[in-house]
Amino acid sequence: MAVLLVSCRATDGDNGGFSIAKENDTLYNLILETDSSRDVWELRYPVYRFCTGDMDGDSIVDAIVGVEKTTRFDPVLRRRVFMFRNIEGKVRPLWLGSRLGRPVVDFNVVKVDGETRLRSVEEDENCKFLVAEYRWSSFGVKFIRYICRDFELDDSMEILNNE
């Protein structure tokens, strides 16, 4: 799977001081710069998506990063979704997701009724695709709804990027 880093626009028009820098093919730095500090979190795997938004509703912007990696319980190289927060000027993990409902193709963050939500294109078991919506729930994301199911990839990606 080719990795192409694509940035989302911040859901609130503010990236919260987060940015990402590619050092080489397998090393990215998630950077948090505030007026008084600079902190870096190394991501030692390819990054395909970078977005920001207040995922956990604490009024502080979080970084949502799509990475490609294996996990301890899933040795297949897949796309994962990680979330990081700003704690007193330091980058700290909020959620390092091993998976959503189905294998992730891509994701975006959107505002719905004032709440930041994660929307993802996922591959269904029938070789079709779906767009799902998730919200933050105490520790991790909780499934809210399907926006569409049983679609072709191009149609699903268009829905993801135009919702």
The tens digit of pLDDT for each residue in 30-78 reads 999 998 999 999 999 999 999 999 999 999 999 999 999 999 888 999 9
Hey, what are 92's tokens? 């700290």
The tens digit of pLDDT for each residue in 140-159 reads 999 999 999 999 999 999 99
* Distance in angstroms (rounded) separating the CA atoms of residues 71 and 68: 10
- From the list 111, 64, 113, 114, the residue with the least C-alpha distance to 91 is 64
Structural domains counted in the chain: 1
Length reported for the chain: 163
Q: Is residue 48 part of a domain?
A: yes
Q: Is residue 1 part of a domain?
A: no
The tens digit of pLDDT for each residue in 73-128 reads 889 999 999 999 999 999 999 999 888 999 999 999 999 999 999 999 999 988 99
Q: Is residue 63 part of a domain?
A: yes
Residues spanned by the domain of 28? 6-162
Distances (CA, A) of 126 to 101, 129, 149, 151, 157: 14, 8, 11, 10, 17
